[in-house]
Amino acid sequence: MRLSWFPDLVLLMVVFVSIFRRVGESIVFSFVAGFLRGCFSLGTLGVDILLFPAVSALSSMLAKMFYRQNPAAQIFITTIAFAVVLGSHTFYLNVTGDSNIAFSSAVSANWRHMAATIFICPFAYAAVKGLLRLEE
């Protein structure tokens, strides 16, 4: 129960790299991140390897549409990325597990995890940006 309020650090880092670095770097980073995350959950390894580069490309595209330093834009991009990951996992598990998990029930089961990830994203991005000394 205590981990339910823990943010998704892998997703945060993938979105951070997608927002503040070049597209090529973010795709490579997200592929490695998807592989590492999939290693901890072997049931979704195949989908994570392909999903995180897709989320990275989407986040990079959205970052070019908005001012990337704006916390509201960062929250929006992170929310979209989280929804894509959660929706893809739900769809994948429905197809492979022969179950009927609805997206709304997946969101209601993971709302704490989602809220923690979305709430902390502007603070985490500012901290990592300062740590890496990235310029505007």
* Structural domain total, the chain: 1
Looking at the predicted structure, is the pLDDT value of residue 1 above 60?
Answer: no
**Structural domain boundaries, residue 80:** 2-132
133 backbone dihedrals φ, ψ, rounded to 5°? 55, 50
HSE-up of residue 107 (Cα within 13 Å, Cβ side):
9
Share of the chain above pLDDT 90, in %: 63
Give the model confidence (pLDDT) of 55-100 as tens digits. 999 999 999 999 989 999 999 999 999 999 999 988 888 877 767 7
**Alpha helical stretches, state H, the chain:** 9-20, 23-40, 45-65, 71-97, 103-109, 111-132
Share of the chain above pLDDT 70, in %: 94
Nearest in space to 136 (alpha carbons), one of 69, 45, 86, 48: 69
Measured between alpha carbons, how far is 62 from 83 in angstroms, rounded to an integer? 14
